[in-house]
Structure 1
């Protein structure tokens, strides 16, 4: 266990998960102060408290201290233990909020993780389970994280505000990751997607598919979007619908885009046709941004490169998101690692300007030996 002398101090509620996840992997305690200190309702929110409880469940020996107002958090990480678990995610954020962090942590646990998460499966804020299944899982496999019990499955869907969804995630232990060279994105060869609807007319899914195809058929013939209409016990507690699209390249990389309807009782109703067309346009924008990894998984690939073997890894990304830029700063704070960044212009690669990041992994197995 890292001693309190190695503690890192941060201010504010931004990048809360980043700091907790990297603290857990590096073994360095963190102190986060002034969490919404000037807000009318200061302190950590319910969904952040639920995230902390989840971290406590998957670790052993973690020390967590929160002051009375919730504006100060001290987190001293324990051992990543894993096992078979169950967690009720707060409905203020979707299961994707919690799942993104589990994807970062699961390969490095002592025991294989098998966890059932309850809550909202699709919303307008966080990556949906469908998108993470189609993009993050293949990305993890490129680093050698694979096996018979590696799956992400939607058992029941749940839309905000009621939730009621259920997701099963299981991941094998792989503490030694292989280096990767993801530098040639290739060309888009096919588009797949899922139009889901719960507690609404089954026709809504078909309307979404037709609208999305009306945009995408101008560019590519190989498009298949299936409809997933759930009713009864599998449909959660609130009505809603949405679309998740994934474009696959000739080199086996995946770029994603998604949209979901507004929660029941919030704002004006979104037409299925508008949602389908807008989601298709978002996918085209993501394809223009390009790279070997989409915007959602930029931070995940950089973390896996950091924790990989002490060998050179490279990845070509589209324009870095603000979240990814801050993630790079945090990697430097927790692991003392920096990436070499080279800009690739339009002449060198199609679409927008790209960034080639090169780095040498610190090796998680080596890192775990230094954590006392």
Structure 2
């Protein structure tokens, strides 16, 4: 059976679901009403990455790129490397690998070479210090990673190696109490030139009473590659229950000149607090991984987690999931706690 989707929203997630459930998909009218219709270069690059990750995958794209046929192959457990050829950062590709990793049977090792951060993707800082700790809790206890800086490449500034163990199935997973924040770290990663540094950030937070009662530290990392100019500022917090939340912003020198950096930091803090004030137990950027974990049939017991709000991205993913697999999540809103409770039971 061929599952058909209209328009191009979330092609990456549709391809991941196709691989997981081994269902053929067809996506039509890709950006038909855009000034530049058709599939983008970074999406083609992602499909090349999928070809490296699988055996037997077949991809067909029409001449103007507005129709995609995807016939999924079999996920391989292997050691492989891939050089990213698009402007998207490493995290765009590694997130896709995380989506399908819950369904790999044996350990794998992946090496990705590309751009560390971009202003359209989750930063590598959040991947390393927020997403990977969550995956370790879900069953990848022995996951390890290494990050290297490429000093002289004009196209790439980072090499990421992830050692992925076999998934260890856990009988039950519950995450419904967020706890209270007790630790906050601000990570300032930049190339040879920066928009604002430790002094400006320290002055801003010293005058902000919200963070004065927490264990708060600023950490800096300089990337010695002058050909790729950027700055990423990420806020990461941990609660007493082990929940990790984060928000980031990446500035590149392709952007307009920054006139008021304090407004950027203030916006970053507002996005960060928005996640926490809703009482979530899982950061919104990691909802998809939790949904997929709950889908794994070998985890034969119920899994429950509490989220403060459902995003538009979550709703689109659940709709795609229902269409391709027939699976339906139980989503209930608790009026007293003002939280959504998501449940999926295989019993």
Q: What TM-score comes out, normalization by structure 1 length? A: 0.85
Q: Which residue of structure 2 aligns with residue 268 of structure 1? A: 257
Task: Check conservation: 2:287, 2:314, Cα contact below 8 A.
Answer: yes
| Secondary structure of the corresponding residue to residue 334 of structure 1 | helix
Contact 1:107 1:171 in 2 (8 A): no
Q: Which residue does the alignment assign to 1:357?
A: 342
Aligned partner of 1:86 among 67, 75, 81: 81
Structure-2 change in CA distance of 1:64 and 1:200 (3 Å): same
Q: Does residue 197 in structure 1 map to residue 190 in structure 2?
A: yes
Deviation for aligned residue 1:35? 1.2
RMSD across aligned positions (CA): 2.4
| Secondary structure of 1:265 counterpart | coil
What is the Cα deviation at residue 110 of structure 1?
A: 4.7
Q: Within the alignment, does 1:99 sit opposite 2:89 as a pair?
A: no
Give the length in aligned residue pairs: 344
2-side partners of 1:123 and 1:191: how far apart?
23
Taking a change above 3 Å as real, the CA distance of residues 202 and 295 of structure 1, as seen in their structure-2 partners, is closer
Contact 1:82 1:111 in 2 (8 A): yes
Instruction: Please name the residue that 2:306 is paired with.
Output: 316
User: Would you say the 8 A contact 2:84–2:114 is kept in 1?
Assistant: yes
Q: Which runs of 5+ in 2 are unaligned?
A: none
Whether contact under 8 Å (1:185, 1:291) holds in the other structure is yes
Partners of 1:357 and 1:57 lie apart in 2 by 34
Classify 1:207/1:64 alpha carbon distance in 2 versus 1 (closer, same or farther; 3 Å): same
* Change over 3 Å in CA distance of 1:30–1:180 after alignment to 2: same
Task: Look up the SS of the partner of 1:108 in the other structure.
Answer: coil
- SS of 2:220's partner is strand
1:50 alignment partner in structure 2: 45
Q: Does 1:344 pair with 2:334?
A: yes
Task: Evaluate the alpha carbon distance shift between residue 60 and residue 43 of structure 1 in structure 2; reply closer, same or farther with a 3 A threshold.
Answer: same
1:155 partnered with 2:148: yes
CA distance in 1, matches of 2:35, 2:195: 43
Q: Could you tell me which residue of structure 2 aligns to residue 369 of structure 1?
A: none
Q: Give the equivalent residue in structure 1 for 2:173.
A: 180
Task: Write the mapping of 1:156-171 to structure 2, written as runs, cut at 5 A.
Answer: 156=149, 163-171=156-164
How far residue 339 of structure 1 moved from its aligned partner, in angstroms, is 1.6
Offset, 1:238: 1.9
Greater Cα shift, 170-179 or 301-310: 170-179
Contact 1:313 1:359 in 2 (8 A): yes
Consecutive unaligned residues of structure 1, counting only runs of 5 or more, are 1-5, 363-372
Following superposition, the deviation at residue 242 of structure 1 comes to 2.1
Task: Tell me if structure 2 keeps the 8 A contact 1:197–1:205.
Answer: no
State how 1:227-266 maps to structure 2 within 5 Å: 227-231=220-224, 235=225, 237-261=227-251, 263-266=252-255
